[in-house]
Amino acid sequence: MRQLLILFPCVLLCTAPGLAQIDGEQALAVFLAWRNSSENKQLSWEAATKKYLAKLVRDGLSPEQAGKTLSIVSSHDEGAFYDPVYANTNPTSPTAPSKLLREAVAGLKPGKALDVGMGQGRNSLFLATRGWDVTGFDTSKVGLEQARKAAAAANVTIRALHASDEEFDFGVAQWDLIAILYPIEKRSVFRVRQALKPGGIVVVECSHKEGANAPFEYETNELLRIFEGFRIVHYEDRMGQHEWARKTLRMVRLIAQKSD
């Protein structure tokens, strides 16, 4: 997984339901055009992004706007990175639904579910076949197309939106279930408290910070602090199988319920 620092001011409108008013795909395209110009293409990523940040400031973009566009463009760049991964005829990405998610929804009455960073839709499809009304988003076009095809083949409906977490509108008290499984960002967890309905369930699985020291990994008990006040249905912090890395790492897993 790559860690890229990319910035771009974008003011283009999105028209898909549930999306904010920034077109990250177009933002990435324009940034890359700037990045590949003769005066910038020899720069390292760090040098290029510092230079571009200075340009954003000169152009009048606020630090908050710059930070948001950084997240959006970086996420769309990640989506382009994962397109060939998903297109591989010998996939290395997991295809079976998450064991933790299966355990979380066992016995629950189906409702509205949100799949954050849905990829090829393995978890969305699982939920939809069990009666859930599923919406998911991701920045990989290939993954989303495969998710839609899989849903059609299974004769179920899912909404698969091309968006980053910064573009997607989580809403207020919208979801009975939010699944955040192997995300490459740590922003979505902070939107769960507002976005879940009372009594709703959140499911989170990711590696511990000691895994790769990536910014989207979790410190010891960090998830418990984030979801303070929720009813903790399940929490573990121990060595286990990482579904993407396909090896044993220190994993954190949480199922929590928002109070009524």
Q: Return the closest-CA partner of residue 71 out of 182, 185, 193, 189.
A: 185
- pLDDT higher than 80, residue 111: yes
pLDDT on residue 228: 98
How many helices (H) and strands (E) in the chain? 8, 7
pLDDT on residue 12: 31
pLDDT band at 99 (very low <50, low <70, confident <90, very high): very high
What residue ranges define each of the domains in the chain, with the CATH number in brackets? Answer: 99-257 (3.40.50.150)
Question: 126-165, pLDDT tens digit by residue?
Answer: 999 999 999 999 999 999 999 999 999 999 999 999 999 9
Higher pLDDT, 47 or 20: 47
pLDDT on residue 3: 35
- pLDDT higher than 70, residue 9: no
pLDDT band at 258 (very low <50, low <70, confident <90, very high): very high
- pLDDT higher than 60, residue 15: no
Ordered alpha helix ranges (H), the chain: 24-35, 45-58, 63-87, 99-105, 122-129, 141-153, 192-195, 222-226
